[in-house]
Structure formats: structure tokens, C-alpha cells
Amino acid sequence: MLLNLSPSLSSLRFTSSLPRRCCSNRLPFLSRSPTTRRRFSLSVKMDSTARRRSAGEFYGRVAGTTERGFGGEVEARGAELGSLVLRACYTKVSPSVQVENPKLVVWSDSVAKLLDLDPQEFERPDFPLLFSGALPLVGGLPYAQCYGGHQFGVWAGQLGDGRAITLGELLNSRGERWELQLKGAGKTPYSRFADGLAVLRSSIREFLCSEAMHGLGIPTTRALCLVATGKYVSRDMFYDGNPKDEPGAIVCRVAQSFLRFGSYQIHASRGKEDLEIVRLLADYAIRHHFSHIEKMDKSEDLSFGAGQEGSPVVDLTSNKYAAWSVEVAERTASLIASWQGVGFTHGVLNTDNMSILGLTIDYGPFGFLDAFDPSYTPNTTDLPGRRYCFANQPDIGLWNIAQFTTTLEAANLISKDEANYAMERYGNKFMDEYQAIMTRKLGLAKYNKQLISKLLNNMAVDKVDYTNFFRVLSNIKADPNIPENELLIPLKSVLLDIGQERKEAWISWVQTYIQELVSNGIVDEQRKAAMNSVNPKYILRNYLCQGAIDAAEQGDYEEVRRVLRVMQNPYDEQKGMEKYARLPPAWAYRPGVCMLSCSS
């Protein structure tokens, strides 16, 4: 039954979406056959320049780095426990989640604006029914996408969308295309062995972090609203054989596209018959999301030497797919540089969690750094190798780009030289952006590698809080005459429990920093304002999420809403909200708060 919608909701303009001929429901040969094993070569040769120009140098070597993953051959193991959907990149499927008196937990007015949705619509009594998928949206064309991916460096075959259902793609009045997706709305043909559902705990984390990342100015999928279904879902959070019933929930995510590296990989992995889908999906992405590439002036000289001297020239005007791969590589590099700037650790950087638009996607066991620790990983599953720890993210981004370009190569869309060139551009872009971000964080006029490396080293030794340190750093005055015993006063709230020897190390660093500030010649007040606009006061520490989750599980949604409000303006001083900038309390170190598993 379709509802009689008020003007704002009913005038949402849904538009055509993924290539229709790639829809499994349209295909006579829709297959849900058992997995077939096949050899799938994904060997990747890393360009030495690209590898050299990654960020390892700043953080030192971390145990279990990713070298092993840079090459070699893997076998397509496929979704051995489920069934496969072949020759298609999506399937029409409607939400099937059960609800009982569903409730709107939290919503985002700014996302509503993106969609031209009147925020008053959040108040309509049937809103929770519409945005849990229990009632259809007029004009919606729901579907689930087919994608695969490398998980922890190993090809895992078909993975999703196992619990995300796209309601449709909208065109807003500015001509922007926005895809609406319900996460946790029931099974799809891609659900494998799982239930297609999500719990309140993980949905609150996803909702809050999407909006917090946006507040920080970091590209991300957004979240329109979060509905508690009123039903329970069984989860084994610690994988200890003791599943517990948790409240179920659904987040309505919004992005210009949810296409991932894995959306392309899955088809390249299936050999000849599916290579055409890689091309169709690439054309789709370029047409709708990288249209400037299609409009590129062919007479413009965009030829570049790929790599070192004597290496082949790559002309980006002659192959739109090459230009596209470079842009995907560069967007990914910028994204990861911005994560490093705020201490965000994604936790599960599998290729199915890499957006082709360079958005942060899939908020699972993420964490922001508290005490600076390059080897920090928020994901308990990642603990043995720390593949996805903070310091490894730039290298993992490159590894993932290598998988993406290998996919385009396999589909004969780009050449090996073009693939190498995209990787090289990743390395260069990452370094440029990372250096610029760190320079701004310190309020300097130019990049000073030694000063920054020394600082990060000091912070790691003394376990200094990453966010709060940079926030108070702006209080240091560019005055070379400050007596030695007063140099650390502006930093006293963040240099906790350090002995005499470490004090000396810090005094020495502050002295060099002040010299640098003096030579840069920026007025203190100006520098402070500039630093505070890039060093957040508030970040979504895991314990803040947990506080909001604990209250919401008791039926009190006010804390989720309060945390959202604080995180929407993370660079501002917010009167009365100082407690949200505090270090984690002791209880935050209990299992499941700062460290999480993938169970959601």
C-alpha cells in the first residue's frame, strides 16, 4: 500500500539508477548456484616510487605491516556458505524487516536539507514505518548491490549487500544525485548465512560517526535517521558462544553513491562473462559522478611520465578510465590523509569498505586515537597482525588502490603503466595532503618534517592524547624569551605523569617549535584561530558512543541527540559541553567499549 504522503516526502524525485541490463531480476540466467572455484590472479606489482612515498616514515615500522599483502596470487574462495548471484551487479529486493511500534531515535536536519526534505517530516507519525522499510516510499526502486572484496588481504568472493537495501536514487533541486540506503532492513540475495539485520548499538555508532566525520569536514557517507525497530536481534558480541538479544535498528544512510572497489572486483574475479559489467559500472560512475572526466578537453596536454625517468608516458586525455583511476586514487589518498589528521582509525579497511568517491564508509569497529599510539587498532579481530592499525592506513589505502587498478586492468580498461601511474599519484597526493594537514595542525607556515616526527615520537612515548594536545598547542606563544620552567605550562593539561627526563625532551621540543613559530612570523592570535579551526575540541571517542548506546538501550534517546549536536560543531568551544572533550574514564577500558569486534 502506498501512503498519501505530504508534499515534501511525496515530491522526492527518484531517478533511474544502476545499468538496467545488469539487474539480476531482468536476467534469464540469474543464477544462485553454489560456489564454483576458479583461479583468479590478483598479483600486484607495486611501483617503487608509490611505495616509497607512503607514510610509514612518520610512524616507524609497526608490527605486522602489509608487505606480505602487496603481491602474490589468491584464490577466489567465494561465498562458500551462501549462494552467488552471477552476471548481475544488483537485484531488486524490498526491505523485509519486522517492526513493532518502531521509534525514531535520532535524525539529521542537515542531511534532510541535502534531499530537499522538509525537517518537519521527521515528526510525521508514519516516518519510522517509512524509514524502517515497513512502508514503501512512493517512487522508490529498492535494490541490493552485488560486491565482493579482499578481507584482511585475502580475496573473499561475494560479500554484499547482505543487509543494506537502497531505496532509490534521488535528484534534488540542485541536480545532485543522492542514494538512500537502509542498513539492517532484512535479507537480500547477498546475505549469505546472516540475518540481514542490525542492532541499535552498531547503528548508533554508524549514525553518530557519519555525522561527526561530516562535522570534522571529512568526506563520508551521511545518515538521515535511525529507527529502533522494536524487535530484538541475537548477536554474539564477543564471539564467546554467548549470544544475547539486542534491540534492532535501521540507519538510513545517504551518499551520492555507495559503489565500492569491491563492486568492480567481484565482476573481474568472475572472468570473461562479467568483464562487460566492470565496464558498464565504470561508465555509470564516470557519467554520474565524475562527469568532468567525460568533458575533459582532449587537446589539453595531460601526459605524464609514469614513475621514474625513462618510464612510459601516460596520457590521461586518451583514456577516460585511466583518468578515473587516478582520481579515485587521489581521492582515497586525501581521505586517508584527513583520517590521519584527526586520529581516525577505520578498523576494517577491506576493499569492500573503500568508496570509489573517496568517502569514509562502513562504521564498524572504528576508533579515534586517545593516547597517541601508531599501532592502535580498535578492532579485536585485527589484533594479531594489526593490519588496520592507525599507522598502516596510508599503506593499506595504497594496497587497496592496487587491487582496484588491477581490476580495471583485468577488464582491459587501463594498461599496466596507467595502473602504476595511478598508484604513484596516490603516494604523491597522500604525502602532499598529509604534510599540509600536519603543517596546519601545528600552525606553521611551512612543513617541517623533523619537528613533526620528533613531536609524534614524544607523543607516543608519553601516551599523550592526540586530540587534546593539538587543541592546547595553540596556547603556546611565539616568544623566545619565555623562561624554561614556564615553557610547558600551556601543555600541562595534556602532559600527564611525565618524569624529569621526559620533561626535558618536551622542553627541547617546545623550544624548537617556538623558534620555528618566530621564524614563520604569524601573529599568535591569528595562529590560534587557524589552529583551532583544524584541531577539533570534540571527537567521537568510543566511550561517548557507549554512553549514548547505554542510555538508548534503556529507551532514553536524549544522549544520542546531545552527542550528535556536540559533534556537529567539533571545532567550536561549546559552553556547558566541556565534559564531551574529556579523556576516557576508567570504565571505557572494559571490553567492547574502546576495542570492538565486527559483530553488529
By CB under 6 A, name the binding residues for ligand ATP.
159-164, 191, 194-197, 348, 352-353, 362, 364, 598, 600
Distances (CA, A) of 74 to 44, 156, 284: 11, 10, 28
| Helix H or strand E encompassing 540 | none
For ligand ATP, which is the closer residue by CB, 54 or 345? Answer: 345
Q: How far is the CB of 76 from ligand ATP (least distance, A)?
A: 16
Q: How far is the CB of 599 from ligand ATP (least distance, A)?
A: 9
Q: How far is the CB of 121 from ligand ATP (least distance, A)?
A: 25
Question: Which of 358, 412, 370, 424 lies closest to 588 in space, CA to CA?
Answer: 370
Rg, C-alpha atoms of the chain = 24
For ligand ATP, which is the closer residue by CB, 184 or 385? Answer: 184
Q: How far is the CB of 163 from ligand ATP (least distance, A)?
A: 4
Residues 6+ apart with CB under 8 A from 493: 468, 472
d(CA 473, CA 530): 12
For ligand ATP, which is the closer residue by CB, 275 or 598? Answer: 598
- Angle at the Cα of 561 (from 334 to 98), degrees rounded to 5? 95
Secondary structure of residue 499 in the 3-state scheme: coil
531, 441 contact by CB (below 8 A): yes
DSSP string, 217-232: T--B-EEEEEEEEEEE
For ligand ATP, which is the closer residue by CB, 247 or 374? Answer: 247
Q: What is the DSSP letter of 248?
A: E
For ligand ATP, which is the closer residue by CB, 178 or 580? Answer: 178
Q: Show the cell assigned to 235.
A: 548477536
For ligand ATP, which is the closer residue by CB, 353 or 377? Answer: 353
In Å, how far from its chain's centre is CA 85? 26
For ligand ATP, which is the closer residue by CB, 5 or 111? Answer: 111
Secondary structure string (H, E, C) spanning 523-535: CHHHHHHHHHCCC
Q: How far is the CB of 209 from ligand ATP (least distance, A)?
A: 11
Q: Show the cell assigned to 17.
A: 539508477
248, 232 contact by CB (below 8 A): yes
| Residue nearest ligand ATP, CB atom distance | 162
Catalytic residue among 352, 362, 395, 465: 352
Is 301 considered catalytic here? no
Q: How far is the CB of 169 from ligand ATP (least distance, A)?
A: 16
Q: How far is the CB of 482 from ligand ATP (least distance, A)?
A: 49
Question: Would you say how long the chain is, in residues?
Answer: 600
Distances (CA, A) of 353 to 214, 260, 358, 383, 404: 18, 7, 10, 19, 12
Q: How far is the CB of 266 from ligand ATP (least distance, A)?
A: 11
For ligand ATP, which is the closer residue by CB, 411 or 596? Answer: 596
d(CA 428, CA 435): 11
Q: How far is the CB of 202 from ligand ATP (least distance, A)?
A: 7
The pairing of beta strand 313-315 with beta strand 154-160? unpaired
545, 563 contact by CB (below 8 A): yes
For ligand ATP, which is the closer residue by CB, 235 or 527? Answer: 235
Secondary structure of residue 459 in the 3-state scheme: helix
CB atoms within 10 A of CB 499: 8
d(CA 477, CA 442): 12
Q: Is the dihedral of CA 121, 143, 207, 341 positive or negative?
A: negative
Secondary structure of residue 329 in the 3-state scheme: helix
d(CA 270, CA 587): 48
For ligand ATP, which is the closer residue by CB, 156 or 455? Answer: 156
Q: Is the dihedral of CA 216, 222, 227, 233 positive or negative?
A: negative
d(CA 164, CA 56): 35
Question: Which of 467, 455, 460 lies closest to 510 in space, CA to CA?
Answer: 455
| Residue whose entry in the numeric block shows the C-alpha cell 562473462 | 273
393, 320 contact by CB (below 8 A): no
For ligand ATP, which is the closer residue by CB, 111 or 348? Answer: 348
Q: Which residues are catalytic?
A: 352
